Amino acid sequence: MTFGAALQQAREAQGHDLADVAARTRIRSEYLRAIEAEELGALPERALVRSYITTYARDLALDPAPLLADLEALYPDNAPPVQRSYLQTTEPARRGCGAALPTLLAVLLIGGAAAYSFWQSRAPKTTAKVPVEVEEPIAPVNVNLTVESLPGGAKVFLDNRELGRAPIRSFPTEARQGAVLRVEYGGRMPFKQNIDLRQGRHLKVRLMPLNMGASIMTDASTGQVQESLPVPVPKAPPAPVKGVTVSLSGASWLRATAPDGNVLYEGILGAGTTRTFPNGTTLRAGNAGAVKVSVDGGAAETMGPDGQALTRRY
């Protein structure tokens, strides 16, 4: 089975028509029909034909490699394009008309041409409008992008679209000059750089530890090395505070007793002092208005009125 027949059979088996495939792949329906019929003369240059076949095969979950190999075997790149005619040949003229028929046709043609020329000379001159042909846009060409990371498993983004975790191999994307590649891994400097995707790329990104320099990208084909553009590193959230935190806005006597009855602290604390005790601690303050208490990092609340002695368990 040739590449065209294989694509047509897979499409029909999956219940798709050419319009469905054209909408998904952004390849014109007449190009898809020409590929299935192997009408290379109705298609653009060979590079686009290979790209169309690759995109069409992947849309149908087929491996494009054997189809491309079949294309080269059947229609080498240096061979003239093959154009199958959709017109049927007419039957040969009947022999009974004799040799006079060509002569009669010639007389009629010459007479008709003379009459048309005379009518044209008598008719008023008008300016003919030349129809403007609008060329349909060519479907975009896809290229393959491969991204590896060190350490492996980094998240890979292309134009803010997450492609998955590295290594990303032969990801098909639309060919274009400007694209933004971003690679991120916890505890490492993120990488961000503009890349040229007018052709397939194989990129290796090395992510440096935080505060150890910029991460770098190496092109596996050319060996060219690029540093990351400046990328803000998100700050780690502060560690949650556990326990009973006591802060004083003025001097107060304070006693802190653990849940088992042991006295953790007893004495006078000055303004601006902060102490932390385990959850379940019982506090006795001589000046409750000067003592503020926060539990597990929550909002600090004053124990009571100024100058009043209070005992509370937190």
Beta bridge partner(s), residue 265 = 256
Q: Compute the distance between CA of residue 161 and CA of residue 154 in angstroms, rounded to an integer.
A: 14
Q: Which of 24-38, 76-90, 115-129, 193-207 is predicted least confidently? A: 76-90
Confidence of residue 238 (pLDDT cuts 50, 70, 90): confident
Contact 199, 175 (CB under 8 A): yes
Our measurement of the distance from residue 5's CA atom to the centroid of its chain's CA atoms, rounded to an integer in Å, reads 31
Would you state the pLDDT for residue 69?
Answer: 93
Enumerate the β-bridge partners of residue 181. Answer: 158, 193
Count of other CB atoms within 10 angstroms of residue 112:
10
96 — pLDDT class (breaks 50, 70, 90): very low
SS3 111: helix
Let me know: does 179 contact 192? Beta carbons within 8 Å.
no
For residue 143, what are the contacts with CB-CB under 8 A and spacing of at least 6? 172, 173, 174, 175, 197, 198, 199, 200, 201
Which pLDDT value is given to residue 125? 55
Contact, 165 vs 138, CB < 8 A?
no
For the segment 99-115, what is each residue's pLDDT rounded down to a tens digit?
444 455 554 555 555 55
pLDDT higher than threshold 80 for residue 236: no
pTM of the prediction?
0.37
Residue 98 has a CB neighbour count (10 Å cut-off) of 10
Q: Where are any strands of DSSP class E within 210-309?
A: 216-219, 225-227, 244-248, 252-257, 263-269, 274-277, 282-285, 291-295, 301-302
pLDDT bucket at 90, cuts 50 / 70 / 90: very low
